[in-house]
Each structure stands twice: as C-alpha cells, then as structure tokens.
Amino acid sequence: MNKLLGVTGCPTGIAHTFMAAEALQQAAAANNAQIKVETNGAVGVENELTAKDIAEADCIIVACDKNVDMDRFNGKPVIEVPVADGISKADALIKKAISGTVPIRGGQEKGFLEISDDNFNGKPSIGHEIYKHLMAGVSNMIPFVVAGGVLVAISFLWGIYSFDPNSEQYNATAAMFKAVGGASMGLMVPILTAYIANSIANRPGLVAGFVAGTIALSTGSGFIGGILGGFMAGYFAKWMVKILSGLPKQFEGLKSIFLIPLVTVAVIGIIMTLLGSPVSAINKFMMDFLANLQNSNPIFLGIVIGCMSAFDMGGPVNKAAYVTGTLLLGEGNFYFMAGVSAACITPPLVIAIAATIFPNKFTKDERAAGFVNYILGCTHITEGAIPFAAKSPLKVLPILMLSSSISAVLTYMMKVQVPAPHGGFLILALVDKPLTWVACILTGSIVGAIIYGLTRRKPL
C-alpha cells in the first residue's frame, strides 16, 4: 500500500483547510492508499508530519494557499497545488501521487502548479504566488478587523454618538468599547502590509512592511497603499538578503539586525512617503465611487457583490468583496458590508433549505451535510456550499450567484447597516434593521433553494 502525506491550508484556516484534508483522505481510501494529512488551520498546525513520516512517504501532496515549510520535503516526490484543487481534484491528485511519475523536489523553491485533472506538471503560477502573499496579509488582518469591528458595533448599542462626550447619548462604557475597537481596527492596514512582506521575505520583510503600512495609514493611501507597500517591502527585502548572502558569517548579526532593516526601512519608507499623495487620491476615489454606487445604483452593486461572493465561496473573488467591505467599515461605511455579509450567508442556506424541502433529491449523506449548512450559513461560513457546487459547478454556481445577488440587492435597497465584519446572525443585535436583513437573506436563499431543488436530479 502506498504511503502518502498531505498538507492543507487556506488563508483563514477555517473551512477549506479541513475540507481539502477530508477530500484527500476519502480519495486515498478509494484508491487503496494510506495518507496522513497535516492541517494548517486557524489554531495552528495539527497532525504535524514527523521526520519519520516524511522519510517513509512515497509522495507528498501540498494543497495550500499559505506558506508552509517546504524544505523538509526536499528529495521527496512533491505535488504542490492550491487548496481548492485539494477539494475538487482530490481523486486525480491521489492517482498522480501513486503513479510514480511525480518529480523529486530539490532545494529550490517552487511555485504552485497550474493543473488539469490528469496533469500535475505545469509551470509555476505567478498569479497564485501573488494571491498567496496577499491572502497571508488578509488572513492576519481579519482577526483585528473582526474583533475591532464587533467592539465598535457594541458601542452603538448605547447610541450612534454614544462615544462623543459632547453628545446627549454619551456613555463612558460605550466610549471605552469604541476606543478599544478603534485601536484594533486602526491596525488593519499595517498588519496587512507587514504580513504580505513577511510572506514574501519572511522576517527581513516584516520591519519594512510595518513601516510601509504605517505610512500608508498616515498618508491616507489606505489599503491600496498598504498592498503596494507590502509587495515592495517584501521583494526589496528578499533582494537585499540575496545580494548580502555572500558576506562572511561573522557579519550575520550586523546584516540581520542593522544593514537589512536600515536600508529596507529607509528606501521603502521614502518611496511610500512620496507615493502617499497620489495613492491617497486613488484610494479616496475608489471609496467615494463605491459609496455613491450603493446610493445611486444599489441593484447593480448588489448583483456585482452577490456574484463575487458566491462565485468561489471563500476564494480570491469572494475575498476581494469581503476585504473591500471590511476596509469600508474602517471608513465608517456600514451599508456596503451588509450586502457582502448577506451574499456570503446565502449560499449555504440555499443548500440547507433545498435539502429540507426536496429531501428526495438528496442522498442520506447529502441531507446530513445540507442540514449542517444551516449552522454554517447563520454564522457567515460560505464554504459549506462548496461540496455541492463542486459536483456540478456549471449548474449550481449560477443558482448560488443569483441567490446571493437577490439577498445583496434587497439589503442595499432596504439600506440595512451591519457594523461588524463577521458573525452572521450572531451579531443581529448590532444590525440596525435585523428583521429586515434576515428577510432579505431568506428571500434570496428560498428562491435559490427552489430553483436548485427543481433542477436537481434524484439520486440513483
């Protein structure tokens, strides 16, 4: 029996990580292979691969959208793919792993592979490498945004101006919540920038990344400046490490503590300061455009957000909508996030409701998984719909995109405000029109569930 190893990890470390692990385990069992999967989730590394595991492995499958220690696999056959392929192409990955044709990994770094179902030897994808670095920043930023956003939202329970000493609504407790939450939210751009740079160049990029993010925040260039600064800091620091690698070992401390931080901070800091004004203008234009769009054309905005959120459910397109919503929260715009959250909550509810009202269209296992989607949907975890969409993407994805668009459009038309970036229905007490928001989401979900149920074939 072939002994295989797997490593899975997604940017947030919540759903895709464990779905890919389960898919690989099921595919290995179906192909009479043994596999141990290490998961790099939100709580850290679980089921970590040991040196003995690696030495005995016939092949290693790395399905990750985040950085993991790859050097430990040098000299072993390694397949490196995005985490989404670990879910949707698990069987093809296992078949390739046991075929004996997987290239041996050398000492050099390799990028992700562009793959088809039967070809896992493509060229490294530069686009996916960029996405991986960007998501490294986003995944580290999200906890700050969620914690800060919820605390700021809690302060609104005493009134929208309860933090203002000059207002009749002023409350000292509310002001404290607002201050603490604001401090957490205020760190989101520096954290985003720093961990993009860290993902590219490890610790040498971290210092310049933090400085670049802080300058982006102070100059008003916001998340656009932060992203730009993160990539500049990371790649410049990586270049500095390379050109200084020839220095004698005696200068290692001088290089890592003095030369690299000094030069990278100086160069990147000056560049970010000079770029501050033009990038700030671009950032302001984008924020104003989105704010005006939600007032002038909520239907178009809702369709765009709905389609983006349901298209890949936790992937890069979904994350683009979500990150934009969280960043607009920091600007005090609570309308945009309401539509994004509604669109993200809808897909799993479509699956759950369809499994409830059309039970004969689903197998026993699918009904059980469908009912779990009630919990996932209500807590803003879109990924629960992925297994159902993966089985028939051309049929299911358009239905989910339509459903999410309906939910988002109705939310924007009803001018619902959601001041917290996550939590689903757990944060209803913080929503200004909670029943209206729920009604908007259920409308889109029920419409999608009926279409999905009617177009789905009965299992054989």
The number of helices, as runs of H, and strands, as runs of E, in the chain is 18, 5
The span from the CA of 77 to the CA of 198, in Å, is: 27
The span from the CA of 17 to the CA of 377, in Å, is: 18
Sign of the CA dihedral 120, 121, 122, 127? positive
Residues 6+ apart with CB under 8 A from 172: none
**Do residues 382 and 309 touch, judged by C-beta distance below 8 A?**
yes
The span from the CA of 424 to the CA of 343, in Å, is: 11
Annotated active-site residue 10? The verdict is yes
**Run of H or E including 286:** helix 260-296
Strand 34-41 vs strand 3-9: parallel, antiparallel, or unpaired? parallel
- Distances in Å between the Cα of 437 and the Cα atoms of 293, 335, 347 are 20, 11, 16
Choose the catalytic residue: 10, 59, 344, 440: 10
Q: What are phi and psi of 287, to 5 degrees?
A: -65, -45
- Going by C-alpha positions, the residue among 367, 340, 363 that lies closest to residue 353 is 367
The span from the CA of 96 to the CA of 118, in Å, is: 7
> Strand, helix or coil at 34?
strand
- Distances in Å between the Cα of 267 and the Cα atoms of 244, 256, 306 are 16, 16, 41
* DSSP assignments along 120-181, one per residue: ----B-HHHHHHHHHHHHHHHHHHHHHHHHHHHHHHGGG-TTTT-TTSTT--HHHHHHHHHH
Query: Which strands sit side by side in the sheet containing 3-9, from one edge to the other?
Result: 44-46, 34-41, 3-9, 59-64, 78-81
Catalytic residues: 10
